[in-house]
Structure 1
Amino acid sequence: MTGTTGARLSPQVRNALIALVVGGIAAILDSTMVTLAIRTLAVRLHSTAGTIQWVTTGFLLAMAVAIPVTGWAERRWGGKRVWMGALALFVLASVLCAAAWNGTSLIGFRALQGFGAGLIFPLMQTLAVRAAGGRAGSRLMAAVGLPIALGPILGPVIGGVVLHWLSWRWLFLINVPVIAAGLLLAWRFLPADRPVSPSGRGRLDWIGLALLAPALTGILLGLSRLSEDGGIGHVGALLPLLAGAVLLAAFITRASRSGEREPIVDVRVLRVRSLGSASAVLFAAGAAMYAGMFLLPLYYQQLRGGGVLDAGLLMIPQGVGALASRFAVGGLADRFGARAVTVAGFLLAAVATVPFALAGPRTSLWWLGAVLLVRGLGVGTVLIPPMSVAYQDIPPAGIPHATMNTRIAQQVGASFGTAIVAVALQTLLAGGATGAFQGAFWWAIAITVAAVVPAIALPTGSATSRPPEPTPDDRTPNGQVAAR
């Protein structure tokens, strides 16, 4: 298909994007709405906050397990079928979550929901690029990245409204009509695709999955526990981190020498400069975005004494800023290049976070709302250019592997950023809440400024040209794309 370059997307691409965004928005919002409900869920389900925290942790860990499977599943059954199957799994798990009778059942159903979400997120990006004929222009990425950027911002707002006026079960039931509409649109507008590996071919790399899935699970679990007493020395954090790092190293070594085997995630494509640099930037962007998103609601609730609804509503300016950036970032990236726009976005987000590092319990909410609007502009800008250039030199057959690499980088980066500021906040609380939040925000600013370093390695231009068709030298004997 055509139409991803220049000012407009073709009608076919626009329709496919609408189907993908509508189908994916529920999964993205749900992953952030529930964060506000931990205290409510603990009370309503007669559980403890420590146990209920696994409602969020289990979701994230299941996502990490699912992400590596998406490329193989798409090759085996076709992207459209897997997309609709993932949506069906997610909505089924949502209904089960709403019907949960205790903390344990909710944790189990949330893990199932997280697995569905882990399939949805990378598929949304892959299918958008495929629908556009392999062209990953900045306007295409701005459209498909809209729910990904707005989820962490609008999720707390919607979650606050639901928890204030409705039962917690509606956090999951509101997914049902949205996913139903997404399934209908996907059936109507997503282009049909045939499996690359029909039944009986394209075997799943079970050894690779057995290494990568627990590797990601261990790293994310360890990072999530860094803020507990003992920090990095706490066995609950140190053991999974070390185990995850060892397994990840083993996976990378094996995948780099896979020969005729097709690894579940081809890390060799990271040797391509456009993808390697974009993955590094997306890791940093995930860290910077989620570090702030972890601290901001806590600042409004713990230091300002607001409720969940108050915190959600006070986050609206950041959502407005992120939404506004989507209308400009495509044109800016095409005009000034991915590198310049990404660096400017990080610096803008860092500067707009400084007022929170100086704020106290009585700082003007109007002033903080204004700087949040500016922060939203910066945060909403940094994802699109690297997502666009990631596919710049990747042949069509390598698109799923490129997507999985970027999604894993962003997922681990988000957990890393959250862990850093959570440890800082926990460590500094002994000196008073105001000083603790100010110090933690300075850490968030440092993470955002540090993200400029990998951004400088991005290609200067925009990704508006079609990736090269694979030549015989681009493929290994089993047909997979080799790194250039």
Structure 2
Amino acid sequence: MPEVRDDRLDPALLRLIGVTLLGGIMGILDATMVTVAADTLAGEFDSSLSAISWATTGYLLALTVTIPITGWAVGRFGVRPLWFFGLALFLVGSLASALAWDVGSLIAFRLVQGVGAGVVDPLVLVILARAAGPHRAGRVMGMMGVVLSLGPVLGPVLGGVVLESLGWRAMFYINLPIGIIALLLAVRVIPADPEGATKSRAPLDLLGALLLAPGFGALVFALTQAGEQATFGTPRVLAPLAAGVLLLVAYVLHALRVRRTEPLIDVRLFASRSFAASVTVQGLVGLATYAGLFALPLYYQVIHDHGARAAGLLVAPLGLGAALAMPLAGRLSDGLGPRSLVRGGAVVAAAGAVLLTRLDADSGEIWSAVAALVIGMGLGAVGAPTMGALYRTLPPEKVPQGSSVLYNLNQLGGALGVACIALIIAAAGKSGTAANGIDGFQQAYWFVFAVAVVILAASPLLPGRPEAPTAPEEPPTDAPREAVTN
């Protein structure tokens, strides 16, 4: 029988993708958008910058802590009601943040926003993975990757424009019309659970939640503090770092022994070489991406004396390169598999990083922008096939857990990337060897080069070419019926 493959993205599936990404993009943008308003908020509330920074740190911590619990809630309550709950909570947090009257209320309302984002963000991956099916996973994850790539870049740029034009409260009000439209469209597009589907009656693994969620949160907090302090050698970094590691080790031991309840994340998933390799590579992509996003604006501000808005615009090619490469790489990976594409992407990213190590104080902005575009394209060619490989090999019932692991490791990788670059640049400045301040930035991109080499070394562990089905693929049970018909 000839091989048959129906991998078309018909209009119904495209509508589902669009509405899902519209709901998910707000949380991704808000993770970075508020950072540009730190000085303004400090003056508005007569507060210190360290206190204001908790409006961003608290958001990230709330998001990180919520994600593992969302994986359990998917099985207990279903995707559709959880999607509406997360979006509604995020909008309530946005409205309350816009109405904040002091720094304490702003931080509290940002925590509410973070919990809402911690529900919605992993659900984006779950909804799209289930609707795509294994043989369209690469293509759909490539489209998802556009949002993941552009969100961190556009957040500060959009935040700066809104802040200067409409004021800081508008940075939160802007979520309301977008979120309301996403909610209204989701009523018609987000699929309901199939008739006869049995929801899990397993109780929440409370001990696991008390170990896993704070463990991830402590690690993110430690890495955030390391980035701000430009050192790992302070109690503010070492104490939460040690606590996070101990909590996660305790969770692993607990998850291997638990019998009466299902663990929030089944650590036995890591026994699969393809799963372990996919989530590790995706974490390295987050590390390299955020390292580049942190170092490039500083280069433009310190070496070329640009303002924050200009520096944000000049770093946009990194996200643009990833956004251009991800859809194509994702589509190709459905037929070629991820291994060869990840190898090629790692080589391209490494080449772009080498270009940036050659910059000096007299280099024009065009060369750094081209190099950033090359890095973005390389990382995009790695990210989409890797995500596709993860969802192509996961059993359907493990998709929520896989999404939790993927998202949390990407967050940890990003926080680690920022911390490492801050440490490298600070160490170069203290050494007294930096020529016109450029040496630290050159070393930062040797670090990005090293990450790309590690990705290249890990690529043989990823799956090869996927097997083609011999009959049309059955519609995924959670996808809308019209989205998967021939």
Counting only pairs closer than 5 Å after superposition, residues 433-452 of structure 1 correspond to structure 2 as 433-452=437-456
SS at match of 1:231: coil
Q: 2:461 aligns with which of 441, 457, 474?
A: 457
Distance in 2 separating the partners of 1:333 and 1:393: 13
SS at match of 2:391: coil
Q: CA deviation at 1:24?
A: 0.7
SS at match of 2:288: helix
Asked whether the equivalents of residues 150 and 319 of structure 2 are also in contact (C-alpha less than 8 Å), the reply is yes
Q: Is 1:35 aligned to residue 39 of structure 2?
A: no
Partner of 1:481: none
Distance in 2 separating the partners of 1:229 and 1:131: 43
Over the matched positions of the two proteins, sequence identity in percent amounts to 38
Q: Is 1:156 aligned to residue 156 of structure 2?
A: yes
Q: Give CA deviations for 1:181-203 in whole Å, capped at 9, x if unaligned.
A: 1111211111111696659x321
Q: Give CA deviations for 1:312-336 in whole Å, capped at 9, x if unaligned.
A: 2212323332222134213332454
Partner of 2:342: 342
Query: How many equivalent pairs are there?
Result: 464
Q: Is 1:21 aligned to residue 25 of structure 2?
A: no
Equivalent residue letter for 2:350 = A
Q: CA deviation at 1:209?
A: 0.2
Asked whether the equivalents of residues 227 and 418 of structure 2 are also in contact (C-alpha less than 8 Å), the reply is no
SS at match of 2:226: coil
Greater CA deviation, 143-152 or 155-164? 155-164
Q: Give CA deviations for 1:351-383 in whole Å, capped at 9, x if unaligned.
A: 212333332343211222222222221222221
Normalized against structure 2, the TM-score is what?
A: 0.89
Partner of 1:132: 132
- Specify whether residues 463 and 80 from structure 1 end up closer, same or farther in structure 2 by C-alpha distance, changes over 3 A only: farther
Q: Is 1:313 aligned to residue 317 of structure 2?
A: no
Counting only pairs closer than 5 Å after superposition, residues 228-377 of structure 1 correspond to structure 2 as 231-377=231-377
Q: Is 1:122 aligned to residue 122 of structure 2?
A: yes
Equivalent residue letter for 1:70 = T
- Specify whether residues 135 and 181 from structure 1 end up closer, same or farther in structure 2 by C-alpha distance, changes over 3 A only: farther
Q: Give CA deviations for 1:3-41 in whole Å, capped at 9, x if unaligned.
A: x96552133322211110111111111212222222332
Distance in 2 separating the partners of 1:230 and 1:26: 29
Q: Give CA deviations for 1:31-78 in whole Å, capped at 9, x if unaligned.
A: 122222223322333221211121221111111111101122112221
Distance in 1 separating the partners of 2:242 and 2:255: 20
Distance in 2 separating the partners of 1:348 and 1:342: 10
Q: CA deviation at 1:450?
A: 2.1
Equivalent residue letter for 1:390 = L
Greater CA deviation, 390-399 or 279-288? 390-399
Equivalent residue letter for 1:441 = Y
Q: CA deviation at 1:167?
A: 0.7
Which structure 2 residue ranges, 5 or more long, are not aligned?
A: 475-486
- Specify whether residues 136 and 60 from structure 1 end up closer, same or farther in structure 2 by C-alpha distance, changes over 3 A only: farther
Partner of 1:93: 93
Distance in 2 separating the partners of 1:334 and 1:79: 25
Distance in 1 separating the partners of 2:467 and 2:122: 19
Q: CA deviation at 1:113?
A: 1.0
Asked whether the equivalents of residues 288 and 448 of structure 2 are also in contact (C-alpha less than 8 Å), the reply is yes
Q: CA deviation at 1:434?
A: 2.2
- Specify whether residues 38 and 393 from structure 1 end up closer, same or farther in structure 2 by C-alpha distance, changes over 3 A only: same
Distance in 2 separating the partners of 1:6 and 1:341: 22
Normalized against structure 1, the TM-score is what?
A: 0.89
RMSD: 2.4
Equivalent residue letter for 1:17 = I
Distance in 2 separating the partners of 1:459 and 1:423: 35
Distance in 2 separating the partners of 1:95 and 1:244: 32
SS at match of 1:233: coil
Distance in 2 separating the partners of 1:185 and 1:257: 43
Asked whether the equivalents of residues 30 and 155 of structure 1 are also in contact (C-alpha less than 8 Å), the reply is yes
Greater CA deviation, 428-437 or 268-277? 428-437
Partner of 2:110: 110
Higher RCO (C-alpha 8 Å, min separation 6)? 2
Q: CA deviation at 1:180?
A: 1.3
Q: CA deviation at 1:230?
A: 8.4
Asked whether the equivalents of residues 153 and 319 of structure 1 are also in contact (C-alpha less than 8 Å), the reply is yes
Distance in 1 separating the partners of 2:301 and 2:117: 28
Q: Give CA deviations for 1:161-191 in whole Å, capped at 9, x if unaligned.
A: 2233231222222111111111112111111
- Specify whether residues 325 and 6 from structure 1 end up closer, same or farther in structure 2 by C-alpha distance, changes over 3 A only: farther
SS at match of 2:193: coil
Counting only pairs closer than 5 Å after superposition, residues 183-194 of structure 1 correspond to structure 2 as 183-193=183-193
- Specify whether residues 455 and 44 from structure 1 end up closer, same or farther in structure 2 by C-alpha distance, changes over 3 A only: farther
Equivalent residue letter for 2:415 = S
Distance in 2 separating the partners of 1:233 and 1:188: 52
Asked whether the equivalents of residues 159 and 312 of structure 1 are also in contact (C-alpha less than 8 Å), the reply is no
Distance in 2 separating the partners of 1:370 and 1:462: 34
Partner of 1:409: 409
Greater CA deviation, 45-54 or 284-293? 45-54
- Specify whether residues 52 and 449 from structure 1 end up closer, same or farther in structure 2 by C-alpha distance, changes over 3 A only: farther
Q: Give CA deviations for 1:229-279 in whole Å, capped at 9, x if unaligned.
A: 583331111111111111100101111222342011222222222212111
Distance in 1 separating the partners of 2:117 and 2:5: 29
Partner of 1:214: 214
